[in-house]
Amino acid sequence: MAKERICSYCGGSGHDARNCPSKKANTPKDKSVWYKVDNLTDEQADKMTSGFMNLKRKIAPDAHGAYLKGDKKSLPGMIAKALGRKDD
């Protein structure tokens, strides 16, 4: 007789805690992350962005993601604008 999987989170069967729909629904999604990497070539910046977007799709496909790429000098203003603040 096959042993049925019992979820350690909700006690339900047919899934484990890692894929538990109750756990997923009860886990708050209130975190954001912000990354900035300086001294990149244009090619490195594109590769970093591509890698970031692939990771985001893999880890958090339903999360909202955005990125900005720009010159060191103009990026702070671009970020401020994206955040809805007036730049200068």
Q: Which residues bind Zn ion (CB under 5 A)?
A: 7, 9-10, 12, 20
Looking at the Cβ atoms of 10 and 79, the one nearer to Zn ion is 10
CA distance 53 to 76: 21
User: Is the CB of 9 or the CB of 52 nearer to Zn ion?
Assistant: 9
CB of 59 to Zn ion, least distance (A): 20
Q: What is the smallest separation between the CB atom of 60 and Zn ion, expressed in angstroms?
A: 20
Choose between 8 and 74: whose C-beta lies nearer to Zn ion: 8
Find the angle CA(60)-CA(62)-CA(65) to the nearest 5 degrees.
75
Q: Can you tell me the distance from the alpha carbon of 19 to that of 72, in angstroms, rounded to the nearest whole number?
A: 41
